[in-house]
Amino acid sequence: MNFETIELRIEEHVATLTLSREESKNALNLKMCLELTQACHMLNDNAQVHVVKINARGNVFCAGADLKERPHMNEQEIVARRVAGFTAYASIEALQMPVICVVQGAAFGSGCEIAAASDWIIASHVAKFKYPEVGWGTVGATQRLPRIVGRRMAKELLFTSRTFDAQEAQALGLVNHLYDADDLEPQANALAKHISQCNPLTVRLTKKCIDQGLETTREGAMAVELLAIQENLQKTDWKAAISKFSGNSKS
């Protein structure tokens, strides 16, 4: 499928999804919402994709929602546009395989939501983040952010709409690792390649256990993991994997 606002490349079990509206600082418009959702559905149906990497063209990861769309929209159209954005974020979150977000520059508003919908974020030292919704007089980013940084810090970041740098984002747990700008993409590629070589079903089941387990009780989480263990035993060559591991441990 040919896209207008994003690029999708699949190579050696790694899918790279690139935000590609560089002239608009990769601002999220309706077309990009729809194309992100379409791309994620395609990736979930592709058993050859073991890892997804999300990055962006240019010096800005995503400047947020494309506000140029808004002046001519009525209330119903604004709601429909917000729903399309929510659907895009949810589609990223629903990907069965690990999703690595590579933030090379500013990630504001919708850019933060795209990144937070991924499984983890690696960023350059010059990246910066901002949740401007309250300052714009709207409501948003109230669900993923508190689950990552906690209730009190989420309220501060949302109520103040302040910009915070990559170092603070890492300290808050929003970003996993920081790299120099020149090293960011090579590090992302190496990480994606490493994960892509693991058994894809085992990786998907592990992601499922973590995500579902955190949303239920400890007992419920144990049941989720036991079911995943059983499926993994039935559908993977676990004996060969253990034999290989045992052989390596003896050497």
Sheet with 163-165: strands ordered across: 60-62, 106-108, 128-130, 163-165
What φ, ψ does residue 28 adopt, rounded to 5°? -85, 110
Q: Is 133 a catalytic residue?
A: yes
pLDDT, tens digit, for every residue of 29-41?
Answer: 999 999 999 999 9
**Sign of torsion, CA 177 225 246 12?**
negative
- Domains of the chain, earliest start first: 6-196 (3.90.226.10), 200-250 (1.10.12)
Q: Would you write out the chain's pLDDT as a tens digit for each of its 251 residues?
A: 789 999 999 999 999 999 999 999 999 999 999 999 999 999 999 999 999 999 999 999 999 999 998 888 999 999 999 999 999 999 999 999 999 999 999 999 999 999 999 999 999 999 999 999 999 999 999 999 999 999 999 999 999 999 999 999 999 999 999 999 999 999 999 999 999 999 999 999 999 999 999 999 999 999 989 998 898 888 887 666 666 655 555 54
Model confidence pTM above 0.95: no
CB 160 within 8 A of CB 138: no
DSSP, collapsed to helix, strand or coil, labels residue 55 as strand
Helix H or strand E encompassing 122: strand 120-124
First CA to last CA distance, the chain: 47
Of the listed 69, 113, 156, 219, which one is catalytic? 113
CB neighbours of residue 20 within 10 Å: 19
Of the listed 11, 12, 93, 133, which one is catalytic? 133
pLDDT given for residue 249 in this prediction: 52
pLDDT, tens digit, for every residue of 236-246?
Answer: 876 666 666 55
Q: How far apart are CA 95 and CA 148, in angstroms?
A: 19
What length is written for the chain?
A: 251
**What are the Cα distances from residue 114, in Å, to 25, 196, 198, 219?**
14, 22, 25, 31
